[in-house]
Structure 1
Amino acid sequence: MLTPLRITLGGLAAAALLAAAPAPAADMPTFNLTIRAGHFVPETIEVPANTKFRLLIKNEGPGAEEFESVELRKEKVLAPGASSFLIFMPLKPGSYKFFGEFHPATAQGRFVAK
């Protein structure tokens, strides 16, 4: 049985955790990437340097594809018609390659952080 004191302390702990939470994802820059017949659209995505961002990925098929970046240590497999997202920590200015694991010859892209 919980006492009122425990509930109060639990409520205070929860409030402290919420106060320490990062800014809502709505404040994060978001970029779209479409996988279409073994190609990324667009192939180049300009992102702000030194800023955390979200990448929304949609696979328009016809088969599965995997977004992968070795240098950024990110990967995500999407079935045909599926959508998902990845969160990227701030990138230093530069160019960062990504590719499609299932169509490496045609699914090539890059982020350019400016």
Structure 2
Amino acid sequence: MSRSSRPVRFAAAFLAVSCADLPVRAEDMPVIKVEMRDGVILPATIEVPANTRFKLEISNTGQSPVEFESTELKREKALAAGSTSSIVFRTLDPGTYQVFDDFHPEAKATLVAK
């Protein structure tokens, strides 16, 4: 290895290692939108990327409060009527996860990570 190529190789190695630990910015994450409305969750099948950080944006378009919940995912989020909130998931293994509205037990959906 010539002396002149050492700084270039060092810089490339340094960048590769230092960039590997950078956090994913919110604008770089996929955003999956879910609507909850007085006992209905739309879509009924929520498709999300597996093994990838993503944001689930939940909007309550109904007249009553809702609570997005999943016992399998250990996540819950209560929303007042007319509000929107988000849950960031670090990663999910491929699979199927059940979600429901704790305030409207008939409202169920399936989150599919693939």
TM-score, scaled relative to structure 2? 0.78
2: CA distance, partners of 1:84 / 1:21: 25
Contact 2:38 2:66 in 1 (8 A): no
Q: Does 1:64 align with 2:47?
A: no
2: CA distance, partners of 1:50 / 1:23: 13
Percent identity among equivalent residues?
Answer: 49
Alignment correspondent of 2:113: 113
TM-score, scaled relative to structure 1? 0.78
Contact 2:38 2:104 in 1 (8 A): no
1: CA distance, partners of 2:24 / 2:59: 25
Alignment correspondent of 2:56: 55
Unaligned runs of 5+ residues in structure 1 are 1-19
Alignment of 1:95-110 (within 5 A): 95-105=96-106, 107-110=107-110
Q: Of the two, which has the highest radius of gyration? A: 2
Unaligned runs of 5+ residues in structure 2 are 1-20
What is the deviation of 1:99? 0.3
1: CA distance, partners of 2:52 / 2:113: 9
Alignment correspondent of 2:93: 92
Count matched residues.
94
Q: Does 1:22 align with 2:18?
A: no
Alignment of 1:21-40 (within 5 A): 21-40=22-41
